[in-house]
Amino acid sequence: MDWIKIFETRTAAEAALADNQPRLLLVRGQRICIVNRGGKFFAVQDKCTHNGESLSKGKVNFRGEVICPLHQYQFNIKTGRECLQRSNDLECYPIKEGEEGIFISI
């Protein structure tokens, strides 16, 4: 598995990622939607599987689902599953934290 560093430190990640606020990250040309949820980081594909909207423009609800801003489909940020299975699951990307930074595998 190829790990790509996305933040030098946890402090840098938390400064860049407000709690429960999706943010777009470009990793090797891929659009990733990343979320800091209570100090844990989750990453899913940014492109909504319904009609392609950017999920990083959406919000995260109390259940830990990112809500697409276009038609409000709701995707679990841990599993990528749409809550009513109205569209395909999102691709999820593992994130790990080490002494040398925070890394993603895409």
In the complex with ligand FES, which residue's Cβ is closer, 34 or 47? 47
Contact 86, 99 (CB under 8 A): no
- Residue 50 binds ligand FES, judged by CB under 6 A: yes
In the complex with ligand FES, which residue's Cβ is closer, 41 or 73? 73
- Residue 23 binds ligand FES, judged by CB under 6 A: no
| E strand or H helix that includes residue 14 | helix 10-16
Task: Choose, by CB under 6 A, the member of 25, 68, 90, 95 that binds ligand FES.
Answer: 68
Closest CA to 88 of 44, 57, 40: 44
- Residue 70 binds ligand FES, judged by CB under 6 A: yes
Residue 28 sits at the vertex; the CA angle it makes with 78 and 8, to the nearest 5 degrees, is 70
Write out the residues near ligand FES by the rule CB under 6 A.
Answer: 48, 50-53, 68, 70-71, 73
